[in-house]
C-alpha cells in the first residue's frame, strides 16, 4: 500500500503516522519528493481501511498495491479451482450447462424439464423455490415444497440441483441441495455469506447488479474465510443506463476474473438480457471468451411460466444452444 502525503505535512505528523503504521505491524518505506512525500507500506495491509486513512489530515491519497482478497486471489493459488458437485466438475477446463426453469411449479413441470435438459447435455438442474421478487404481490415461489420437487427431479434424473437461498432461516430446507445459489441482491448479505462459509457445499455466487469485480471477490472471500473454498462465480448482467436489455451483460469480466482468481466463472445470459432470443448469441459469446459454464432458463411451456417466461428457452431451443456452444468450446480448447 502506498500513501501519498499532502504538501506541507510536518516532520512531526509524518513521524506520528509512521508510528501508527508500525503499531499495526507494517514497515514503512519513506520517500520524500520535492512536492510530495510518499510512504510505501510493507506487510499485511488487508486489515487496513483505506477510507480511514483518507480521513487523516495529512494524506492526499492512498493506493493499494496488493489486492484486499487473499483466498480468492490467483497470485496465491495459481492453479484453477475445480468444484466437484457429486462427480460433476466445473472449472479447470471442465465446462457445465446449468439449466432449468426460473421457478419450480409442479412435479410434472420440473421432472419434464429436468429430463429434457439432461438429455440435451446439462450437468446440473436449476430451479427457483425461494424467489426474490421486487413486488410483495408477485409469486414468491413454492419455498420448501419447491425444494422437495427439485429433489424428486434429482432422484429421477440424477442431476445435481442448484437453487437459491435468500435468508439464513431457509437453509434448513437445503440438506439435499447440491449447490446453494446466492442471488445478485444478496451478494453483500454478509451474514448469509458467513453462514455459507461454515458449510461444505459448493456456493454459486452471483454478481450484484452494481458490484465491481473486486467486490464480487470480496464476497467470495467472506465465504472462503469461513473455510468453504468451493465458490463458483456468476456474471448475470450489471445495471447501466441502457434500457434495451434488462441488464448489461459484462462478458469482459470472464477473462478478467480468470486473471484475478482461480475460481470458476459461469455466465447467466437469461437474467442478464431478459430476452429469450438474446440467450443463444450471448451463450455462444460467453463460451467463446472462456466461461466455465452457462446457466440457462429452460421451461417446457415458457408462455405460461409463473415467472420470467420472457427469457426462458424451450427444451428444443436449449438443444440447439448446447450443440453450438459445444462446437465453440472445441474451437477455443483446441
Nearer to a second copy, 186 or 230 (CB): 186
User: Shortest Cβ distance from residue 90 to a second copy (Å)?
Assistant: 19
Q: ∠ at Cα 102 (92, 117), nearest 5°?
A: 55
The DSSP code for 22 is H
Residue 279: which of 288, 271, 289, 269 has the closest Cα? 269
Nearer to a second copy, 82 or 324 (CB): 324
Joined together, the cell numbers standing for residue 304 give 405460461
> If you count DSSP H runs as helices and E runs as strands, how many of each does the chain have, helices first?
10, 14
Residue in this structure with the C-alpha cell 465465504, named with its chain if needed: 223
Nearer to a second copy, 86 or 315 (CB): 315
- Inter-residue contact 321 to 283 (CB < 8 Å): yes
- Inter-residue contact 202 to 209 (CB < 8 Å): no
- Residue 203, judged by CB atoms within 10 A of its CB (0-12, 13-18, 19+), counts as buried
List, in order, residues 6 or more apart from 69 with CB less than 8 Å away: 214, 217, 218, 220, 221, 261
User: Shortest Cβ distance from residue 14 to a second copy (Å)?
Assistant: 15
Nearer to a second copy, 176 or 252 (CB): 252
Nearer to a second copy, 200 or 241 (CB): 241
Exposure string over 271-288, b if 16+ CB within 10 A, otherwise e: bbbbebebbbebbbbbbe
Nearer to a second copy, 97 or 118 (CB): 97
User: Shortest Cβ distance from residue 279 to a second copy (Å)?
Assistant: 10
User: Shortest Cβ distance from residue 84 to a second copy (Å)?
Assistant: 24
Joined together, the cell numbers standing for residue 293 give 459454464
User: Shortest Cβ distance from residue 158 to a second copy (Å)?
Assistant: 30
**Strands (DSSP E) along 123-178, which ranges?**
124-126, 161-165
Joined together, the cell numbers standing for residue 8 give 506541507
User: Shortest Cβ distance from residue 157 to a second copy (Å)?
Assistant: 25
User: Shortest Cβ distance from residue 161 to a second copy (Å)?
Assistant: 21
- Inter-residue contact 296 to 321 (CB < 8 Å): yes
Nearer to a second copy, 118 or 131 (CB): 131
User: Shortest Cβ distance from residue 200 to a second copy (Å)?
Assistant: 18
User: Shortest Cβ distance from residue 237 to a second copy (Å)?
Assistant: 8
Question: Cα-atom radius of gyration of the chain, to the nearest Å?
Answer: 23
Nearer to a second copy, 17 or 99 (CB): 17
Which 3 state secondary structure label does DSSP give 6?
coil
Cα separation of 196 and 174, whole Å? Answer: 11
Nearer to a second copy, 157 or 222 (CB): 222
Cα separation of 177 and 283, whole Å? Answer: 25
Amino acid at each position: 500500500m502506498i500513501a501519498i502525503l499532502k504538501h506541507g505535512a510536518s516532520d512531526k505528523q509524518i513521524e506520528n503516522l509512521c508510528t501508527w503504521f508500525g503499531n499495526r505491524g507494517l514497515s514503512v518505506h519513506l520517500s520524500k519528493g520535492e512536492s510530495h512525500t510518499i510512504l510505501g507500506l510493507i506487510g499485511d495491509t488487508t486489515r487496513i481501511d483505506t477510507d480511514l486513512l483518507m480521513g487523516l489530515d495529512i494524506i492526499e491519497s492512498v493506493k493499494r498495491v496488493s489486492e484486499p482478497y487473499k483466498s480468492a486471489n490467483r497470485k496465491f493459488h495459481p492453479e484453477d479451482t475445480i468444484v466437484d458437485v457429486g462427480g460433476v466438475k466445473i472449472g479447470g477446463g471442465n465446462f457445465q450447462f446449468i439449466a432449468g426453469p426460473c421457478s419450480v411449479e409442479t412435479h410434472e413441470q420440473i421432472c419434464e424439464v429436468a429430463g429434457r435438459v439432461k438429455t440435451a447435455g446439462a450437468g446440473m438442474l436449476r430451479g427457483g423455490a425461494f424467489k426474490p421478487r421486487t413486488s410483495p404481490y408477485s409469486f414468491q415461489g413454492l419455498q420448501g415444497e419447491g425444494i422437495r420437487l427439485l429433489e424428486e427431479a434429482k432422484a429421477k434424473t440424477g442431476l445435481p440441483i442448484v437453487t437459491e437461498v435468500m435468508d439464513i432461516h431457509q437453509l434448513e430446507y437445503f440438506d439435499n441441495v447440491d449447490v446453494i445459489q446466492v442471488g445478485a441482491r444478496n451478494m453483500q448479505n454478509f451474514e448469509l455469506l458467513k453462514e455459507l462459509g461454515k458449510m461444505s457445499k459448493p456456493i454459486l455466487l452471483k454478481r450484484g447488479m452494481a458490484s465491481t469485480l473486486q467486490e464480487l471477490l470480496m464476497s467470495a472471500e467472506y465465504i472462503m474465510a469461513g473455510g468453504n473454498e468451493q465458490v463458483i462465480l456468476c456474471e448475470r448482467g450489471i445495471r447501466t443506463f441502457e434500457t434495451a436489455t434488462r441488464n448489461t451483460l459484462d462478458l469482459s469480466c470472464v477473462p478478467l476474473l480468470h486473471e484475478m482468481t482461480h475460481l470458476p466463472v459461469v455466465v447467466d445470459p437469461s437474467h442478464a438480457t431478459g430476452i429469450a432470443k438474446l440467450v443463444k448469441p450471448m451463450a455462444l459469446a460467453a463460451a467463446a471468451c472462456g466461461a466455465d459454464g452457462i446457466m440457462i432458463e429452460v421451461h417446457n411451456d415458457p408462455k405460461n411460466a409463473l415467472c420470467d417466461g420472457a427469457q426462458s428457452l424451450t427444451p428444443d431451443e436449449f438443444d440447439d444452444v448446447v450443440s453450438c456452444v459445444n462446437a465453440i468450446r472445441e474451437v477455443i480448447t483446441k
